[in-house]
């Protein structure tokens, strides 16, 4: 065919494809109202990728983008009466003596505080009073559900995202099993294989947290939501049951296998991007570390430099006795009695450091993002969990044979040094980390593409009711088969009763004859 004919046809096809692509673009609202920066780090890659693919994304959060992005609009939450943002802000001692119930109540209370402050903020009010229309809403599934009022306001299908394993009670809306015999409560420090004592406390803690959530925090959230979304809003519990699916920042290789319904999708590692080149001075330090490098960081929320003096001295004494070099996140300008083999930095390019081949171990608080990066790069860990899901995360890593769990309250020089020597010198930890990394990386699709696929899947079908199991709308007594057991018990009782009546009747008839026979035999 003549090239002069082909060229116009090509242009027409390109324009046609462009029009088709535009018709497939959706208007998406993402609501991420938690004050923790690490949560936003999980969610941000998805909404940015959706914008890159042509969807129009509006995000409500405390952490707007620093640079503009096409098709992306940030609505900054301008509330003033909130706790400090959970980003390089909390001292270590704040969690000294913390316990699971206290963790749960603190996190839930922050959720309630965010409800009132966020929904009452001027920028959010402008959105609620606007004429905007959305094809899909993305919400964070974490503490309370007051922000599900956005679903009622804009009448759109919605999906949820979770930056951690699901909290107690959050599985119920999907009828997803969180049987405490095999699913550890994320506020505890258990793995999936629990002793009798652990299963007992796991069951009790889960029951208490679910009950307090349902009859206290959810009631408060319902009251606040009705204040801002109107009394015609259905109960938040009913809205929650219509969630199309949830994208969870987990993977069974790292977070341990657990039963999941089709609406629960693993997308763990979605935030991981290709490693970047390290700054020159850090690169030189890493390359010159012939005995390897140990990375020490307590995450993006905790301030490492606030370690109590006794703990700091103990940690540094251990580091000074090791042949490895140490890269340490330390927010202060100076570190008293800093060993020569320790390099301090106020902020670590953690993902990029862990990708360096000289890294031999990672000392961490057990945050899921850091453990995900360690898993991805096959780095064994020493975990010192402080709060939240960190204990469960470290136990899961330990269960894979690629890490050691240390308790902050009991850690001492001997236990810390022994853990480091074991992880660094015992080849099995590195081998298990490599095995874990291979399993974690092996997917049908990369996690971000998986998240995009399922998001667009819900857009395509205007929801995903067909992924919802029947037990979502089933009364609890039916789900537990208590009505069936009652019916079976009644039938069994009736059968036994009939047998009793028949046996008694037969006995009444036969007994006189037996008596006569017995008397005759005695007479003979």
CATH assignment of the domain containing 467: 3.40.50.2000
CA angle (165 as vertex; 387, 420 as ends), nearest 5: 50
CA distance 237 to 239: 5
pLDDT in tens, 115-168: 999 999 999 999 999 999 999 999 999 999 999 999 999 999 999 999 999 999
Which domain covers residue 436, as residue numbers?
280-441
CA distance 358 to 292: 5
- Structure confidence at residue 3 (pLDDT): 43
409 and 500 in a common domain:
no
178 and 104 in a common domain:
yes
CB count in 10 Å sphere of residue 363? 24
449 and 435 in a common domain:
no
**DSSP states along 452-472:** HHHHHHHHHHTS-GGGS-GGG
User: By the 8 A CB rule, do 293 and 356 touch?
Assistant: yes
- Structure confidence at residue 165 (pLDDT): 95
- Structure confidence at residue 208 (pLDDT): 96
Short-list 447, 446, 452, CA closest to 26 = 452
pLDDT in tens, 224-277: 999 999 999 999 999 999 999 999 999 999 999 999 999 999 999 999 999 999
Over the chain, what is the mean pLDDT?
91
User: By the 8 A CB rule, do 202 and 179 touch?
Assistant: no
355 and 495 in a common domain:
no
CA distance 366 to 222: 33
38 and 104 in a common domain:
yes
As for how many domains the chain has, the answer is 3
Short-list 341, 364, 353, CA closest to 279 = 353
**Backbone phi, psi, residue 383, to 5°:** -105, 130
Q: Which of the four pLDDT bands, split at 50, 70 and 90, describes residue 195?
A: very high
Who contacts 61 (Cβ-Cβ below 8 Å, separation ≥6)? Answer: 30, 31, 32, 33, 40, 74, 75, 76, 77
User: By the 8 A CB rule, do 329 and 88 touch?
Assistant: no
- Structure confidence at residue 47 (pLDDT): 98
Short-list 302, 362, 309, CA closest to 337 = 309
pLDDT in tens, 330-364: 999 889 989 999 999 999 999 999 999 999 999 99
297 and 226 in a common domain:
no
CA distances from 333 to 288, 307, 346, 348 (A): 24, 15, 8, 14
Sign of CA dihedral 159, 163, 169, 174: positive
CA distance 435 to 405: 19
* pLDDT above 50 for 1: no
452 and 429 in a common domain:
no
Reading the block at residue 178, the tokens are: 């969180």
Task: Name the strand (E) or helix (H) holding 363.
Answer: strand 359-364
Question: 3-state class of 490 per DSSP?
Answer: helix
CA distance 400 to 209: 28
- DSSP character for 31? E
Short-list 80, 115, 86, 85, CA closest to 217 = 115
Does residue 20 fall inside a structural domain? Answer: no
- Residue matched to tokens 């969690």: 95
Q: Which of the four pLDDT bands, split at 50, 70 and 90, describes residue 78?
A: confident
- Structure confidence at residue 300 (pLDDT): 87
361 and 231 in a common domain:
no
Does residue 245 fall inside a structural domain? Answer: yes
Does residue 512 fall inside a structural domain? Answer: no
Task: Name the strand (E) or helix (H) holding 484.
Answer: helix 482-523
- Residue matched to tokens 């001075």: 281
Q: Which of the four pLDDT bands, split at 50, 70 and 90, describes residue 505?
A: confident
Sign of CA dihedral 503, 505, 510, 514: positive
* pLDDT above 90 for 39: yes
CA distance 36 to 423: 31
- Structure confidence at residue 97 (pLDDT): 62
Does residue 519 fall inside a structural domain? Answer: no
**DSSP states along 283-338:** HHHHHT-TT-EEEEE-TTTEEGGGS-HHHHHHHHHHHHTSSSEEEEE--SS--TT-
58 and 42 in a common domain:
yes
pLDDT in tens, 421-447: 999 999 999 999 999 999 999 999 999
308 and 224 in a common domain:
no
pLDDT in tens, 161-193: 999 999 999 999 999 999 999 999 999 999 999
Does residue 17 fall inside a structural domain? Answer: no
pLDDT in tens, 473-489: 999 899 999 999 999 99
* pLDDT above 70 for 83: no
By the 10 Å C-beta count (0-12 exposed, 13-18 middle, 19+ buried), 49 is classed as middle
- Structure confidence at residue 19 (pLDDT): 38
Short-list 70, 54, 145, 165, CA closest to 459 = 54
Does residue 118 fall inside a structural domain? Answer: yes
Q: Which of the four pLDDT bands, split at 50, 70 and 90, describes residue 518?
A: low
304 and 203 in a common domain:
no
- Structure confidence at residue 94 (pLDDT): 79
CA distance 341 to 318: 11
300 and 204 in a common domain:
no
Does residue 55 fall inside a structural domain? Answer: yes
Who contacts 84 (Cβ-Cβ below 8 Å, separation ≥6)? Answer: 35, 90
- Structure confidence at residue 153 (pLDDT): 97
Does residue 523 fall inside a structural domain? Answer: no
Who contacts 468 (Cβ-Cβ below 8 Å, separation ≥6)? Answer: 174, 263
Mean pLDDT for 108-119 is 93
């Amino acid at each position: 065919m003549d090239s002069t004919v082909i060229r116009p046809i090509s242009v027409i096809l390109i324009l046609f494809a462009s029009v088709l692509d535009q018709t497939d673009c959706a208007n998406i609202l993402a609501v991420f109202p938690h004050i923790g920066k690490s949560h936003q780090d999980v969610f941000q890659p998805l909404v940015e990728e959706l914008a890159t693919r042509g969807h129009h994304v509006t995000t409500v959060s405390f952490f707007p983008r620093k640079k503009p992005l096409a098709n992306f609009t940030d609505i900054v939450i301008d509330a003033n009466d909130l706790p400090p943002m959970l980003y390089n802000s909390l001292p270590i001692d704040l969690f000294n003596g913390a316990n699971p119930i206290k963790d749960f109540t603190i996190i839930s209370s922050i959720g309630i505080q965010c409800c009132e402050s966020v929904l009452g903020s001027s920028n959010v009010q402008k959105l609620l009073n606007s004429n905007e229309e959305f094809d899909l809403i993305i919400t964070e599934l974490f503490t309370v559900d007051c922000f599900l009022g956005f679903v009622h306001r804009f009448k759109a299908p919605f999906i949820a995202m979770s930056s951690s394993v699901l909290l107690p009670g959050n599985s119920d809306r999907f009828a997803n099993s969180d049987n405490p015999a095999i699913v550890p409560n994320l506020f505890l420090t258990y793995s999936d294989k629990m002793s009798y004592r652990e299963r007992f406390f796991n069951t009790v803690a889960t029951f208490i947290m679910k009950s307090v959530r349902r009859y206290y925090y959810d009631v408060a959230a319902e009251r606040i939501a009705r204040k801002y979304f109107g009394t015609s809003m259905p109960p938040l519990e009913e809205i929650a049951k219509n969630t199309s699916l949830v994208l969870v920042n987990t993977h069974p290789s790292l977070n341990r296998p657990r039963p999941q319904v089709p609406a629960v999708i693993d997308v763990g590692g979605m935030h991981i991007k290709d490693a970047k080149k390290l700054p020159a001075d850090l690169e030189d330090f890493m390359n010159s570390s012939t005995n390897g490098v140990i990375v020490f960081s307590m995450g993006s929320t905790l301030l490492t430099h606030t370690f109590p003096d006794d703990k700091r001295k103990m940690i540094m004494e251990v580091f000074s006795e090791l042949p490895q070099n140490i890269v340490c996140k330390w927010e202060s300008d100076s570190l008293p009695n800093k060993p020569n083999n320790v390099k301090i930095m106020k902020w670590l390019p953690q993902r990029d450091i862990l990708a360096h081949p000289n890294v031999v171990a990672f000392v961490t608080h057990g945050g899921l993002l850091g453990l995900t990066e360690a898993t991805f790069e096959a780095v064994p860990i020493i975990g010192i969990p402080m709060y939240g899901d960190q204990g469960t995360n470290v136990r899961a890593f330990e269960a894979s044979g690629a890490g050691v769990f240390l308790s902050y309250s009991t850690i001492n020089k001997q236990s810390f040094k022994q853990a480091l020597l074991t992880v660094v010198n015992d080849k099995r930890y590195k081998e298990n980390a490599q095995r874990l990394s291979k399993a974690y990386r092996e997917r049908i699709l990369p996690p971000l593409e998986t998240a995009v696929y399922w998001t667009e899947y819900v857009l395509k079908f205007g929801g995903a009711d067909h992924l919802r199991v029947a037990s979502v709308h089933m009364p609890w007594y039916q789900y537990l088969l208590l009505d069936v057991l009652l019916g079976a018990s009644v039938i069994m009782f009736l059968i036994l009763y009939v047998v009793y009546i028949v046996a008694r009747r037969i006995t009444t008839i036969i007994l006189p004859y037996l008596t006569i026979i017995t008397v005759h035999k005695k007479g003979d």
